[in-house]
Amino acid sequence: MDFRDNEAIYLQIAAYVSENITLEKWTAEEKIPSVRDLAVELQVNPNTVARTYDFLQNQEVIFNKRGIGYFVSSDAKTKVKSYRKERFLQQELPEFFKNIFLLEIGLDEIEKRYQEFKTQNYQA
């Protein structure tokens, strides 16, 4: 995973976990990788993953079964989409609008590229 400098690593890992849930790679009530396993996979400090899991647990996206591990909440996908949608609308969309205005990119161009993106990345 390549980390960006402009956002805390634990939030980037939270986005990674959330994406796996949204894409149903990790489904409701399924056990997710342990703190240690995910830290090894992403090559980060286990404390960073622990912070990520605490954050996601506070968002009620995952829950901990003591002694067993972390699991995806039954309504995690809905919670993830709601949180990410609000964050996108508040933080990223205004910057996106500013850029398409300044660069004079039409909505037809955006629509065309969006359809290409979906076809190339999310359709079999």
Domains annotated on the chain, with CATH: 1-124 (1.10.10.10)
- pLDDT value of position 124: 59
Q: Is the dihedral of CA 16, 59, 6, 111 positive or negative?
A: positive
Q: Which of 2, 12, 78, 64 lies closest to 34 in space, CA to CA?
A: 64
For residue 52, give Cα distances in angstroms to 57, 97, 98: 8, 30, 31
pLDDT in tens, 51-68: 999 999 999 999 999 999
Whether the full predicted model's pTM is greater than 0.85, yes or no, is: no
Q: What are the tens digits of pLDDT across the range 27-51?
A: 999 999 999 999 999 999 999 999 9
